[in-house]
Copies of this chain bind each other. A is one copy, B any other.
Amino acid sequence: MAFTEFRPLEEKSLIEYIKTVPALHSKLGNILDDVKVKEVGDGNLNFVYIIVGPDGSFVIKQALPYIRCIGESWPMTKERAYFEAVALREQARLSPEHVPEVYHFDRTMSLIGMRYLEPPHIILRKGLIAGIEYPLLAEHISEFMARTLYFTSLLHRSTAEHKRAVAEFCGNVELCRLTEQVVFSDPYKVSEYNRWTSPFLDLEAEAVRKDNILKLEVAELKSKFCERAQALIHGDLHTGSVMVTRESTQVIDPEFAFYGPMGFDIGAFLGNLILAFFAQDGHADQANDRKTYKEWILRTIEETWNLFRKKFIALWDEHKDGSGEAYLPAIYNNPELQQLVQEKFLDDLFHDTLGFGAAKMIRRIVGVAHVEDFESITDASRRADCELRALEVAKLLLKERRKFHAITEVISAIQKFQS
């Protein structure tokens, strides 16, 4: 059987496909008789299969020309698989310990074959709901973010490399447009896709739509998202795009990748940790009040930013005489000035991070796609109470972000809103 044009695969045709691809069947020790194929049902956008043979394993991810969780009524280019493959390879090159290896990419089939992240790897969001601590999470994710963002920015790249890469990822426009709609637009207007814990948050959802200052600030963030090609960002770096064990942290699913503002990635991750924090009261029971766990989440938020900041500056210092065209050594050649520009850069990035992080929080409470952290709280009134606190913090962070200069101030703000 030849696979010369696109078609969706199912379990049987998948095996036929694998037979035609040495890079894949070699991973199974070339033994295809006793192979198990399992479809993973929890992807929002794509079809994902785990293929396990007696002598190895991998994952196949295929993009279909629509959004899986909604269906053919919401078309979405399958070319996203191409940008995901390019981003995965770039990120794996920059941060190999935290990105699964790509074994095979087939543009015609919109199909990626990559490392299977074997158990006990689970989606970080599920771990956060279960109350599991990941002692290396902040260290790992800050490493991933610092390296992927620094090395794909003009701090390290030449203008020529940068413009070429920016132009290529302009092709991922449909995914960018989806983010623009669901993060920066829909939550602030009446939309058939929006939902919230009703009737508890009816007034809150309306207040978001009527908050002029909030909408003013969201416009600035949206412009930055659409216009500022600062680095190759993951584009969807929430806690559902990270797989973890106690020892391992793996970032997956960069199909939203493009050249955008760094703060969108850092904010996505921190914002989703803040959501996880406020969801804890909904998961607390007599056996576990989650107090210690909430403290761990706050500590992880603090450490993630502080470690990111430290690692990012260390990369900058290390490569300051390199090929990056943003800060030429002949100009920024004294330690005092070097410190000054780094502090300004990181302060601006901190404000972007808070703004984007807050926008991502708001959209998870009053927009189309919610998070399991809250959705798994079955008592609607209790859920609404958690969501309300998160929403209030998010609005504060978004509107007042320029007044914050250290992550500890953010932690204090979060603590003020907890029950």
Q: Which of A144-200 contact B (CB under 8 A)?
A: 154, 159-160, 162-164, 166-168, 170-171, 173-174, 176-177, 180, 185, 188-190
Q: Is A325 an interface residue (CB 8 A)?
A: yes
Q: Is A313 an interface residue (CB 8 A)?
A: no
Which residues in B have their C-beta under 8 angstroms from that of A173? 159-160, 163-164
Q: Is A34 an interface residue (CB 8 A)?
A: no
- Beta-carbon contact of B332 and A219 below 8 Å: yes
Residue of B nearest to A220 (CB): B344
- Beta-carbon contact of A226 and B326 below 8 Å: yes
Q: Is A118 an interface residue (CB 8 A)?
A: no
Q: Give Cα A344–Cα B328 distance, bound, in whole angstroms.
A: 32
Q: Is A314 an interface residue (CB 8 A)?
A: no
Which residues in B have their C-beta under 8 angstroms from that of A40? none
Which residues in B have their C-beta under 8 angstroms from that of A337? 212, 215-216
Q: List 30 A-B contacts (CB under 8 A).
A: A154-B223, A154-B226, A159-B176, A159-B180, A159-B226, A160-B173, A160-B177, A163-B173, A164-B170, A166-B166, A167-B168, A185-B331, A189-B328, A189-B330, A212-B337, A215-B331, A215-B332, A215-B337, A215-B341, A216-B341, A216-B344, A220-B344, A223-B230, A223-B326, A226-B325, A226-B326, A227-B228, A227-B229, A228-B228, A228-B229
Residues A219 and B325 in contact in the complex (CB < 8 Å), given A159-B173, A167-B171 = no
- The contact of A219 among B160, B167, B177, B341, by CB within 8 Å, is B341
Residues A326 and B167 in contact in the complex (CB < 8 Å), given A177-B160, A331-B189 = no
Which residues in B have their C-beta under 8 angstroms from that of A222? 326
Which residues in B have their C-beta under 8 angstroms from that of A331? 185, 188-189, 215
- The contact of A170 among B167, B189, B220, B341, by CB within 8 Å, is B167
Copies in the complex: 2
- Beta-carbon contact of B228 and A185 below 8 Å: no
Chain A residues near B (Cβ < 8 Å)? 154, 159-160, 162-164, 166-168, 170-171, 173-174, 176-177, 180, 185, 188-190, 212, 215-216, 219-220, 222-223, 226-230, 325-328, 330-332, 334, 336-337, 340-341, 344
Which residues in B have their C-beta under 8 angstroms from that of A159? 173, 176-177, 180, 226
Supplied contacts A154-B227, A215-B337, A219-B326, 19 more A-B pairs, CB within 8 Å: A159-B176, A159-B226, A160-B173, A162-B226, A163-B170, A166-B166, A166-B167, A177-B325, A188-B331, A212-B334, A212-B336, A215-B332, A216-B337, A219-B341, A226-B326, A227-B228, A228-B228, A228-B229, A229-B229
